[in-house]
Amino acid sequence: MKITRNLLSAVGACTLFGTITVPLAHAHQMRNQNQGVIRWTGHADKLLDVSFRRNSTWTTRISGRKGSGDAVFSSPIPRKNATVTLNQTMGRGSVWIRQQPRASNNYTCIVRISDRTSGGDNYKFTLRWAN
């Protein structure tokens, strides 16, 4: 216990996990590397793929007019296999995950938006992952 107190005094504010002492800032970073949220808002007409890799996003028009959108990342998608879930909160069409992040696709998550009604619509969805 005396060694732990001396270590805590030397390092500053720390958190103890069993016998391992980790500074609080590093514990927060470690937690965020294992989970994350992306919120995407945009416009789609017909078929649109929205791709996410690390902390980047881009759209690919499959059919219809060019789509666009913005994403807010809580943390980058990890460069390891992850299971991403999707929750659609706006848009009249269907939204689903076409590809999960894997080594074979350079850890890219691809979401398909299918808006079959003419004129396009605004869409919002949230992606979440935890490893």
Same domain, 94 and 125: yes
Same domain, 27 and 39: no
State how many domains the chain has: 2
| Opening angle at CA 118, ends 116 and 124, nearest 5 | 65
Of 17-21, 114-118, 121-125, the one with minimum mean pLDDT is 17-21
Same domain, 17 and 29: yes
Same domain, 67 and 24: no
Of 106, 47, 36, 102, nearest to 71 by C-alpha is: 36
Q: What is the pLDDT of residue 33?
A: 58
Same domain, 1 and 40: no
Same domain, 63 and 11: no
Same domain, 1 and 62: no
| Opening angle at CA 36, ends 14 and 19, nearest 5 | 25
Tell me if 113 sits within 8 A of 95, measured CB to CB: yes
The sign of the CA dihedral 30, 33, 34, 38 is positive
Same domain, 46 and 25: no
Same domain, 27 and 86: no
Residue 40 pLDDT level (bands cut at 50, 70, 90): very high
- Distance in angstroms (rounded) separating the CA atoms of residues 17 and 31: 13
Tokens of 45: 């007409």
- Distance in angstroms (rounded) separating the CA atoms of residues 47 and 61: 7
Residue 117 has pLDDT above 90, yes or no: no
Same domain, 53 and 10: no
Mean pLDDT of 78-88: 94
pLDDT in tens, 15-39: 333 333 334 343 344 445 578 999 9
Same domain, 26 and 69: no
Range of the domain at 49: 35-130
